[in-house]
Amino acid sequence: MTQNRVNRLLLTGAAGGLGKVLRDSLKPFAHQLRLSDVAPMASAGENEEVLPCDLADKAAVDALVRGCDAIVHLGGISVERPFEEILEANIKGVFHLYEAARRHGVQRVVFASSNHVVGFHKQGELLDTDCPRRPDGYYGLSKSYGEDLSRFYFDRYGIQTACLRIGSSFPEPKDRRMMVTWLSFRDLTELVRCCLFAPTLGHTIVYGASANRDKWWDNAGAAHLGFQPQDTSEVFRAKVEAQPLPDPADLATQYQGGGFVKAGPFETLPQP
């Protein structure tokens, strides 16, 4: 890996919404992109490899990581789901990934964590990167586990990781909450680039949000990354504020995690 380009960069979750974005936007920063997902992906283009992989399969993940110089890990379930599904993709999967990185000498990982690690903090509260974690569901719990796991692999084996607590990365914010949490695709790409090439990464937690007017997150603790977002949700304010006002009694309007704080439970009770 040079200062500006990775020799072989692994991108997991390449068939997902953000994976498709980064598949295109990260090309200038890698001589070879190795793309993986359990879902179907487009055929390999120039300087690409397509390797389908189930993250719950330890041997398959080991083969996937072999020969890579850095990893951008988006793979796994990205919404709230029953614990059994989260367990396979998000908890076993991230463990298998770090074990493979250890065995094959990969020294830098960009891990897609989530704002849902802190989703049960109140809206309007300003959080730094060392704030107490308050996951808002099984998905948030899995990302909190990933943050702890990556810290262990840094302390024990020196594998450097950036944990990106991604806000809401879509073409545009969909509601008032996303006016605060929105992360443009351009800023997402820049954040990942900064994490890949920061001279010293260590174990860093960073919030993924654009330069929006209202803020719930403080990235002072990640200043060494040099991330400077360029976009803002302000250009969408009139469109979003034309929507009806949300119910202030709704838990989704009280907590930073939005609708995730209400998802589930998912159990199916046995019939009498």
Q: Are 161 and 150 in contact (CB under 8 A)?
A: yes
Is 139 among the residues known to form the active site?
A: yes
Neighbouring-strand partners of residue 35 = 11, 50
CB atoms within 10 A of CB 171: 11
Distances (CA, A) of 85 to 38, 81, 82, 206, 268: 14, 7, 6, 26, 14
| Per annotation, catalytic residue among 98, 138, 139, 153 | 139
Q: Within 13 Å and on the Cβ side, how many CA atoms surround 147? A: 26
Q: Which residues are catalytic?
A: 139
